[in-house]
Homo-oligomer: A and B are copies of this chain.
């Protein structure tokens, strides 16, 4: 127990450095003038190296072993905390520092090249900068594969989704792949037979959009004594659980995207804000992984806020705030706007029906690249084929094709599947919540989100990293993760 307590102290220090890095990262995206970049890079590099040194300290490894040999003295949370400490230690020590540094540098260089290459639609330049990133990512995968006894792809996936395995993803995605193409066609036909939604005509002042966003954040349960809303080029949720900072970007001619963006990030934020207070600053007090994190943003955005009940509550408020009138501002039209299906090029703009196709394509291609089954030079052709097969979309150029995302240039292979696993988890969790508390849905229609938040706190947020994702889903929904709830949700929203 003494060793375990010493470990808690050491991980509290690591958590403080993580927190400092989170604030520095938020500041960099929201507040920092461009000339601050050099100094900020020094600060972030120094703290990152420090954190790595602390977490790979051989003494820490000895303490972890000693504490594990005495794990009977620990309660469930402490034991889970020790398990999470071991997990962090394993991931950090699996790589030698030279490899970590080489990969970080290659990814930073590739990101720079990628920004320009994407703008110029210059795949060749991108490919050249991406080559060392892919090679070093393979080295990382090989090292972690050897250390964890996992396949190379799973070894990478495990970093984003602890316990995530491609064998189960393959099954889930195969199921979805059998369902979606036909479903997309049916949804498109159904949609084509209805009149198109009327456009909402602006301008919509940024300040009003912000006020509306803040109002909805508040009613959803965002605690402004523990967080903020700001602006950044790419919306994100950052900060620490005591001080969660979300961002959006506004366009004066269309409020609908910024608003839904705020609600999406609010879902992430509610997860962080609801993490177990008693375990702040400890590994077990952190979010479980990216699947559950995405599930929380998508539960709020896709399950709740694009749904009929939320729009019943929200439409009159939006109409009033933006001084709208006429048929375009009716509930039905708002639902039409927020449930459009459109097979298209860009993942981040995709609707929830076509989104899985974007993910499944990337999942297949990144595995192929990792396994050396797909040379980088052949990526554009493979991408364009895939988009044609999966969504019937012609890809006009690589900037709107295989160069659109930051993930690969930054060395993040194994991340993409968490988006769709998150969407499926969101559907399954929301279905269970509604079944377990009949007050949730009528509450949403009246702007009362307390029953929903209470359920999420008890079943997801408050669990931190106590359970695996799979255990948590079983406890909360009675079932392992499946496709049924997601399919049922899509049918209900797009075919009825």
Residues of A within 8 A of B (CB): 12-13, 15-17, 19-20, 23-24, 27, 31-36, 38-40, 42-43, 45-47, 50, 223-228, 239-243, 280-281
Contacts and interface: CB of A to CB of B under 8 A. Distances in A.
Contacts of A13: 46
A225 B34 contact: yes
A13 B45 CA distance: 9
A242 B20 contact: no
Nearest to A224: B33
B228 A16 contact: no
8 contacts: A12-B42, A16-B47, A19-B42, A20-B46, A23-B24, A23-B43, A33-B226, A34-B225
B23 A226 contact: no
A223 B35 contact: yes
Contacts of A241: 39
A243 B24 contact: no
Residue among A46, A225, A228 with most chain B CB within 10 A: A46
A492 to B, nearest CB: 38
B31 A20 contact: no
Residue among A15, A23, A45 with most chain B CB within 10 A: A23
A47 to B, nearest CB: 6
Given A27-B27, A43-B19, A35 B226 contact: yes
Contact of A42 (B27, B32, B40, B281): B281
Given A15-B42, A36-B240, 7 more contacts: A13-B46, A20-B20, A20-B43, A23-B27, A33-B228, A35-B225, A35-B227
Nearest to A46: B16
DSSP class of A's interface residues: helix, strand, loop or mixed? helix
Contact of A243 (B36, B223, B227, B240): B36
The 8 closest A-B pairs by CB, nearest first: A36-B243, A16-B46, A35-B226, A39-B242, A35-B225, A20-B43, A16-B42, A16-B43
A227 B42 contact: no
Residue among A34, A42, A281 with most chain B CB within 10 A: A42
Nearest to A45: B16
A32 B226 CA distance: 8
Contacts of A227: 33, 35
Contacts of A24: 20, 23-24
A357 B50 CA distance: 48
Given A13-B46, A16-B42, A17-B46, A242 B23 contact: no
Contact of A242 (B16, B36, B46, B240): B36
A257 B40 CA distance: 33
A127 B164 CA distance: 60
Contacts of A17: 43, 46-47
B242 A35 contact: yes
Residue among A43, A223, A225 with most chain B CB within 10 A: A43
Nearest to A21: B20
A89 to B, nearest CB: 19
Contacts of A242: 35-36, 38-39
A15 B40 CA distance: 11
B19 A39 contact: yes
Residue among A223, A240, A281 with most chain B CB within 10 A: A240
Nearest to A30: B31
A387 B31 CA distance: 44
B20 A243 contact: no
B46 A243 contact: no
Contacts of A42: 12, 15-16, 19, 281
